[in-house]
Structure 1
């Protein structure tokens, strides 16, 4: 399959090339600036590239949750860089992830450093039939592996609302809103828009039965990185997809702008809801 793909749409900004199918011209790609990580956008008060989280003083080759302050909360990685699988409250991977960062004493070989090491899996961008662009894996991916980020401009609520209101039913909506909760309390929401500045994640399609799960991962900054992990073993040649709603029912029942922006879902899954997820809370 690798022979069907070539080039590198990341312009060598990733650890491995992000290929494009050879029968598709790179000139037909959307006009956007490639970035492997989030960048500060309109309305974002914190530069995502700044190191704002404290580091640990662990001197062991690899940190452990019982003694490392970075790993006291959320999920952790196990040997091989796989995300530990937990089933809590009926949902898998329901917690955020914290990695050791640039201020930590532990070395680069610490197993809690995964997303910060960037793209490691060979991926290919291609044209789907009727669903625009898509991303396929060119190698096998183990359950729990980090695959790629959904990176782009981190923007504020007002800017996310402005951009969403200017969209028509024909426009593609790239803005992802990730809401984090602590119990019943909402801790915050992060808006990422890769339309103008983004990475390979912008080409991922939605599926009501996806093979990737999105999780907020904090590395150096309080601004989370939206990381996508394999929710099952994935074979070479499979299209990579994630649930744009994060597995939660989205607010699409209201009339007005929400109805105008609803788009038909073409994922083909047996449990397809019929429409792409749309959280219209940003429209009010």
Structure 2
């Protein structure tokens, strides 16, 4: 299909060009990208037209970013606020440098007013081709679709990292023969009978052979979220979450749900990394995008592809802190905005008299992954968080993984209902 013919005679192409012209994108930049997208989509316009041609605009800017990177040119402050850290030593050095210079380098966005119809011309002031800078298996772009907010400052980490005093003992020696499937080979889900690692989910795997969370398990977890009083809880004598740090006293414990866990195979198991019971530890596989919402919610996360019910999206990644460390951090930076930390209390029933300096939480304020951009919904969220046991059998520490609660369409925002720690 020739470019001139597309421009002059195809009404769909003309509408696409009308959109890109609003953004001052010249036709000579639009046409090659549009033709490539159409070729990859088999001539199907549905995806290209979604959300006012967002996919087309994103593709054009991605090409520009790649060209600039290959030419070795810089683009103002684009991407300078992001840094990837993959070792505790680098993290410690980065945090100390930031603390000494400014107390905290995080700028969590404030809610923005909605634009009027007359001011809806988007400027795309901030665009990053991949906020993970190669630390994930897929690129995750960031786009400011409103043009009214600077790129948030944070350190991207693909795995949880201990901040300072949190006790996290990972050791193969602590994993007994009863806690692994050393005799398995290849893919555990292909065996005639479930392996040892499936005992936490009633002797059945939580995942299907397609890598989705089974509907029965997912629905039970959702019911626990909606009807928590219908399920068993454990009550602390001195609850770390109800401590008055100024008075040194404790309020009444509201109770902690005894939640359903998924136990994944790990390094002491005989299966390989492609085993169907290693979904979360293989990392992000979906096509995602961080974007600035138009509903006054600040930044959000959306999918760029259709996702079936039970799809793993990502982990909630952050620094592993004790409750005491979190309190001290909030006191030091009380005037600044924070992302919501998540308490790791899914199995407090097995830990008696847990002290405030022992209870763990995840805080993505300074260091985190794409999950720090996920917005919360009270009723109609399309994701749920599930506790995942991987490398620590005692569950004092575990992973938080997000799965879709229903089918999610491309360009839909990803949201969740969470159990959060109240900030002082």
What is the TM-score when the length of structure 1 is the normalising length? Answer: 0.76
What is the match of residue 194 of structure 1? 364
- Give the root-mean-square deviation of aligned CA atoms: 2.9
What is the match of residue 121 of structure 2? none
Question: Per chain length, whose mean CA-contact separation is higher, i.e. which structure has more relative contact order (CA < 8 Å, sep 6+)?
Answer: 1
Cα separation, 2, equivalents of 1:244 and 1:162: 23
Q: Deviations over 1:218-241 (max 9, x none)?
A: 222353111101011100010001
SS of match in other structure, 1:82: coil
What is the match of residue 124 of structure 1? 289
SS of match in other structure, 1:91: helix
- Unpaired runs of 5+ residues, structure 2, are 1-53, 63-128, 226-258
Is contact 2:318–2:367 with CA below 8 Å preserved after alignment?
Answer: yes
Change beyond 3 A, Cα 1:90–1:118 = closer
What is the match of residue 71 of structure 1? 198
Higher strand share: 1
SS of match in other structure, 2:56: helix
Q: Which has the larger radius of gyration?
A: 2
- The alpha-carbon deviation at position 164 of structure 1 amounts to 3.7
What is the TM-score when the length of structure 2 is the normalising length? Answer: 0.52
Question: 1:203 aligned to 341, 362, 373, which one?
Answer: 373
Question: 1:219 aligned to 383, 390, 402, which one?
Answer: 390
Q: More deviation in 147-156 or 157-166?
A: 157-166
Is contact 2:341–2:364 with CA below 8 Å preserved after alignment?
Answer: yes
Change beyond 3 A, Cα 1:225–1:90 = closer
Answering whether residue 405 of structure 2 is matched by residue 231 of structure 1, we say: yes
Cα separation, 2, equivalents of 1:147 and 1:90: 16
Structure 1 runs (4+) deviating above 6 angstroms are none
What is the match of residue 15 of structure 1? 137
Q: Deviations over 1:189-242 (max 9, x none)?
A: 541011111100101111112101011112223531111010111000100011
Cα separation, 1, equivalents of 2:221 and 2:342: 24
What is the match of residue 2 of structure 1? 55
Cα separation, 2, equivalents of 1:89 and 1:141: 19
What is the match of residue 98 of structure 1? 263
Cα separation, 1, equivalents of 2:291 and 2:373: 9
Higher helix share: 2
Change beyond 3 A, Cα 1:88–1:213 = closer
Answering whether residue 346 of structure 2 is matched by residue 180 of structure 1, we say: yes
Is contact 1:180–1:186 with CA below 8 Å preserved after alignment?
Answer: no
Q: Deviations over 1:78-119 (max 9, x none)?
A: 111111222449826851111001121112221101011100
Change beyond 3 A, Cα 1:114–1:203 = same
Cα separation, 1, equivalents of 2:145 and 2:346: 41
Q: More deviation in 101-110 or 159-168?
A: 159-168
- Unpaired runs of 5+ residues, structure 1, are 246-277
Is contact 1:4–1:22 with CA below 8 Å preserved after alignment?
Answer: no
- The alpha-carbon deviation at position 60 of structure 1 amounts to 4.0
Cα separation, 2, equivalents of 1:89 and 1:202: 22
Is contact 2:382–2:405 with CA below 8 Å preserved after alignment?
Answer: yes
Cα separation, 1, equivalents of 2:313 and 2:156: 17
